[in-house]
């Protein structure tokens, strides 16, 4: 039996602002945005090519906004990722070159922290 991590909750203070950031600035796909019951809004967003999505919303969790654990995505081209984020208005770090990979960092409007990693000797990053 496979056990797959496919959804991570990211606590935000303003769902519409966060959805706009992740979809229009970072480039995630907007998969689902519904209110199944009063007091609950469930929004699922997925990075292109990823099997794991994030969810944001209302009434889903009592975690304070901005307290998601550090999250990381892997890309095949760190220069392209950096350029895309910067061109879309994301405050992104410069490329951090380490012995084991290259990284850029950014945070969403609530301060949830993200790393984008490129591993030079791994197929597709």
Write out pLDDT tens, residues 30-58: 999 999 999 999 999 999 999 999 999 99
Instruction: Determine the Cα–Cα distance for residues 96 and 106; give it in Å rounded to an integer.
Output: 12
Mean pLDDT of the chain: 95
Q: According to the model, what pLDDT value does residue 123 have?
A: 65
Q: Is the pLDDT reported for residue 7 higher than 80?
A: yes
Distances (CA, A) of 114 to 39, 59, 64, 91, 117: 28, 23, 17, 11, 10
Q: According to the model, what pLDDT value does residue 83 have?
A: 98
If phi > 0 it is left, if psi is from -120 to 50 it is alpha, else beta; for residue 77 that is beta
Instruction: Determine the Cα–Cα distance for residues 63 and 75; give it in Å rounded to an integer.
Output: 28
Both structure tokens of 116: 């984008």
């Amino acid at each position: 039996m496979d056990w797959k991590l496919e959804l991570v909750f990211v606590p935000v203070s303003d769902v519409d602002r966060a959805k706009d950031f992740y979809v229009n600035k970072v480039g995630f796909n907007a998969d689902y945005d519904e209110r199944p019951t009063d007091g609950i809004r469930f929004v699922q967003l997925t990075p292109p090519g990823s099997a794991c999505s994030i969810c944001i919303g209302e009434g889903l969790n009592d975690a304070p906004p901005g307290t998601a654990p550090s999250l990381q995505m892997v890309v095949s081209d760190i220069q392209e990722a950096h350029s895309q984020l910067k061109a879309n208005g994301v405050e992104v770090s410069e490329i951090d070159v380490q012995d084991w990979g290259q990284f850029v960092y950014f945070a969403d409007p609530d301060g949830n922290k993200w790393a984008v990693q490129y591993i030079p000797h791994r197929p597709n990053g």
